[in-house]
Structure 1
Amino acid sequence: MTDCQTHAPETAPAAARPVPARAQLANGCVPGLLAVMAEAPALAEGYATLSPIFEKAELSETERQIILMTNTRLTGCSFCMVAHTTICGRKGAPDDVIRALRAGTERGDPRPEAFCRFAVVINETRGWPSDGEAEAFLGA
């Protein structure tokens, strides 16, 4: 794997500096993923633009994190897993829920499980769920 340079706000390319700077103010540190993304200003800007849009979705913080942690597990992104594990913990998710999301195991709660299953479907079908899969999710 290629080693990527990580950046603090002061070492990032000028066009990317606002992204790690905002992250540092919000979190007390620059998460690893953003520290690497800062090497590519357009990528950092894209992430910083899309994240607040996702927060506007009519989902609870827990539901958003379920989707993000499921996607993180499926893609194998260690930076993302650390970040979303931390966020889940800060938002009050119980440790057993976090462990289940990290491992991809079911917890038995129907609504969160529906989010997990549909996130898997979206990943596996590259955004093209069947009508039945979409209906099953919407009916949950």
Structure 2
Amino acid sequence: MQLTSFTDYSLRTLIFLASLPDEELSNISEISQLFSVSRNHMVKVVNRLGQLGYLHTVRGKNGGVRLSKPAEKISVGEIVRALEPLDLVNCSVEFCHITPACRLKNKLAQAKLAFLAELDGCTIQDLLADNSELLILLARPE
């Protein structure tokens, strides 16, 4: 299974914003530059994370974005569920004539549940905790 780049950048954005001091803002330009992704793509990422309630947006000259809830309350599994198309294969009878007797679809469903269960046990904060190397890489230039 491979996550889409949209989900990848969404997770990176949440990790970066969680690394900032409480209530500190960042902006789309800073995030897109940090991860070397187009500003246009990052606008879509930030917009979607805002729609889902993970980001709070402050408008205006000194505006920006920050997490809307604590990083320890954001599970990686819930982010992946919200952003990823999780149907691994098309098992509709119209698409595959062996569907009625196929055991693969059940194994794939079990694997997907195990994958998500593992991610459910991990929060954005868990990815930052005791990870000074990551915090150095995410630090803003002085």
Normalised by the length of structure 2, the TM-score is 0.31
- More helix by proportion, 1 or 2? 1
Higher relative contact order by CA 8 Å / sep ≥ 6: 1 or 2? 2
Structure showing greater radius of gyration is 2
Normalised by the length of structure 1, the TM-score is 0.32
- More strand by proportion, 1 or 2? 2
